[in-house]
Structure 1
Amino acid sequence: MTEKRKLKLNLQHFAAQDFPEGNLQTVPNLDNFKEKSIDYVYRFEESLKSFQEAIGISRMMPVQSGMTIELMGKPTVDLADGNVAEGEIIPLSKVTPAVKDTKKITLKKYRKSTTGESIQTYGADQAVSYTDDALIKEVQKGIRTDLFDLVQSGAAQTNLNAANGLQGALATSWGALQTIFEDDTIRVVVFAHPMDVAQAIADKKLSLETAFGLNYYTDATGTVVFTSTQVAQGSVYATAAENLVIAYIPAGSSDLGVQFGLTSDDTGFIGMKHFLHNESLTQQTLLVSGVLMFPERLDGVVQVPLTETEPVA
C-alpha cells in the first residue's frame, strides 16, 4: 500500500530551464500602444507647427481650461494736449480698449473604441491606425472651423479699389490692412474658397503646398493665400499674420496629463493614449485637445467681395 502511494518524480521539472521563456510578454511588446500615441501626437503637432510657420503666427499663449479670451476692436484714444509748460502737471491721456466679442477655450475630449474582432480580422494597423488617422483629421478640422468662423463673423467689408477678380482682391486686402496696421510691419494672410482661386492657380501654374490640412500658395507680394471650403465662396478674408494667436491648454504637462498618463510633446497641443479595455475586448483611443486660433483684433480682419474679371475686347 505504501509503495503504491509513492509519487513519481518529474525529473524534467527540475531540469535547467532557459530564460527568458519564448513568447514572453515584454514591456516593448506591451508598450506598442504608447508608441502609437507618441507617433500620432507628433504628427498632429508637426502639422500644426507647419501651419503656424506657413502663416507666420509667432504668438503662442498657454491658458487654463475655461479661460475667456477677449477679441478686441480698435481702442479709443483720448489724447491730452501735449503742449505742457515747464514744471506744469502733464495731463493724462486715456486709452479705452474695445472688446468686440469673447470666446471661451475649453478642453475637448474624444474617444474611439476598436473591437478585438476587427483587430483580429483586419490587423492592428488597419483597425486602429487607419481609424485613428480619421479621428485626428476631424479634430484638426474642428480647430480650423473655429478660426474660419471667427474670421468670417468679425470681418469688416471693404470696397476700397473695387476688386477685379482674385488679384484685385489681394491688392485691396493688402492696402486695407496696411491702413489698419499703419504703425506695424505686417505679413498679409488671405483665406479663400478653392473655386475662387482655381482659375488663378491654373493661369499662373502655381504649385500648392499643404499645412494642417489646408492648401496654400504665396503671392508675388508675399501674401499667403490659404484655400478652404469652410470659407464662403464669393469673398476673400484677410488679416495680418501678426494679428493671429494660438491659445492652447497644455494637455501633456498639466495635472490632467500626468494623472491620466497622456502622451504629448513639449508644445502640449494634444494629449493622447491607447489602452485596453479587457471587459469589452476593445482597444481604446483617448484624445484631449484645447486649441483655439483666433484674430486678436476683429477690426484687423477685412472681407473683400470678388467681382468677375471684365473680358478683354
Structure 2
Amino acid sequence: MAAENNLTEKFAKAQSIDFVEQFGKSIKKLLEMLKIERRMTLPVGATIKTYSSKVTLDGTKVAKGDIIPLSKVETTEGDPIKLAWDKKRKAVAIEDIQAYGFEQAVSKTDTELLRELQKEIKKNFFAQLAKGTTSVSGVGLQGAMAKAWGGVAGKFEDDDVTTIAFVNPTDVADYLATAQITVQTAFGLRYVENFLGVDVAIMSTSVPAKTLYATASDNLCLAQANMAGSEIAKAFDFTTDETGIIGVTHDVNKQRLTAETVTASATVLFAERLDGIVKATITEAAAAAKA
C-alpha cells in the first residue's frame, strides 16, 4: 500500500513539472515573438496604470531676456489594470483513467487546460488593444500597414522602434496565398516577421476584420506574480519553473475518485501607453476615392 501511494505521487509530480515546463516555454515564445524585454513582478492586488500623453509646444520666438512661455504636457490615465489571481481546477474521473491510462488521461486534459489559460491572457490583451486612442486609415492592407507604421514611429520617434502589428487572418489571406511567407506559431498565435514594413505581424480573429492594431514592442509589458519560491508555493506544494509565472499541483480526490489538476497564476500582458496603440482602418480603393 505504501509503495502504491509513493508511485502516485511520482506520477503527479512528473505531470506538474511537464505542465509548468510547457506553460513556461509558451510564455517565453510569446515574449520572443512580441520582442518584449520589460517584465514586472508585482504582488497580487497591485494596480497597473495605463495612460495617454499629449505635448503642446509653445512656438513663440523668445526675445533676449524675455520670459520663456510654458509648453503643455497632458497625461490622461486609462483604465487601471488590477493584477488578480487566476485559479483553475479540473478533474479526470476513474472511468477515463481506466480507459486511457493515468498518464494519458491527465496529459490530454492538461493540454486543453493549458490552451484555455493561454486564451485568457490573449483575450484580455486584445481587449486592451481595442482601447488604443490613435486612429489612422489606409487603402488596402498595405496602405493601412504603412499608416500604422507611421503612426507608431511618430509616437515613439525618439526610440529605436520595433513595430508589432495585429491583424485579422482574412485580411492577410491573399498575401499568404500568393507570397512566399514563412508563418510561425507561438502561444497559439500565428505570426510573420518583416511583413509589409512591420517587424512582426500577428494574426488573430480577436482583431476585427478591416482593422489592425500596431504598437512598439517597447510599449508592451508582462506583469506577473512570482510563484517560484513563494510562501504560497510551499503551502500548496506548487511546482513552478524559473519564470515563476504559474504554480501547478496534481492530487487525487478519493471521495470522488478523480485525479485533479490545480493551477494558480496572476499574469497580465498589456500596453502601457494607450496613445501608443495605433488603430488602423483598412479601406477599399473606391471608398477612399469617393471620400
Partner of 2:260: 284
Distance 1:195 1:222 in 2: 18
Secondary structure of the residue that 2:124 maps to in structure 1?
Answer: helix
Partner of 1:34: 13
Q: 1:66 aligned to 2:45?
A: yes
Secondary structure of the residue that 1:30 maps to in structure 2?
Answer: helix
Partner of 2:289: none
Q: 1:210 aligned to 2:185?
A: yes
Distance 1:236 1:167 in 2: 11
How far apart are residue 269 of structure 1 and its match? 1.1
Secondary structure of the residue that 1:264 maps to in structure 2?
Answer: coil
Instruction: Say how many residue pairs are matched.
Output: 284
Secondary structure of the residue that 2:143 maps to in structure 1?
Answer: helix
How far apart are residue 231 of structure 1 and its match? 1.1
2:167–2:211 Cα contact (<8 Å) kept: yes
Taking structure 1 as the reference length, the TM-score comes to: 0.82
Distance 1:197 1:155, change over 3 A: farther
1:154–1:298 Cα contact (<8 Å) kept: yes
Taking structure 2 as the reference length, the TM-score comes to: 0.88
How far apart are residue 252 of structure 1 and its match? 3.0
What root-mean-square deviation, in Å, do the aligned CA atoms of Structure 1 and Structure 2 show? 2.8
2:132–2:276 Cα contact (<8 Å) kept: no
Distance 2:8 2:228 in 1: 23
Distance 1:95 1:270, change over 3 A: same
Distance 1:95 1:38, change over 3 A: same
From 140, 144, 161, give the equivalent of 1:186.
Answer: 161
Summarize deviations over 1:228-254 as a string: whole Å, max 9, x none.
111111111000011000001112332
1:54-93 equivalences in 2 (<5 Å): 54-74=33-53
Structure showing greater radius of gyration is: 1
Secondary structure of the residue that 1:101 maps to in structure 2?
Answer: coil
Distance 1:259 1:212, change over 3 A: same
Summarize deviations over 1:13-51 as a string: whole Å, max 9, x none.
xxxxxxxxx994474663111111111111111111111
From 218, 233, 242, give the equivalent of 2:209.
Answer: 233
Q: 1:199 aligned to 2:178?
A: no
Secondary structure of the residue that 1:74 maps to in structure 2?
Answer: strand
Partner of 1:153: 131
Q: 1:117 aligned to 2:92?
A: no
Partner of 2:107: 129
Structure 2, unmatched stretches of 5+, are 287-291
Partner of 1:306: 282
From 245, 250, 259, give the equivalent of 2:221.
Answer: 245
From 256, 261, 264, give the equivalent of 2:240.
Answer: 264
Summarize deviations over 1:147-183 as a string: whole Å, max 9, x none.
1000012242113xxx222221211111111111111
Distance 1:66 1:124, change over 3 A: same
Partner of 1:103: 81
Summarize deviations over 1:261-297 as a string: whole Å, max 9, x none.
1011111111101011122211110011211000000
Structure 1, unmatched stretches of 5+, are 1-21
Distance 2:205 2:250 in 1: 32
2:49–2:80 Cα contact (<8 Å) kept: yes
Amino acid at match of 1:123: G
Q: Report % sequence identity.
A: 36
Partner of 1:16: none
Higher strand share: 2
Summarize deviations over 1:76-132 as a string: whole Å, max 9, x none.
5788x9x9x99xxx9999866431221111011000011122201221233211111
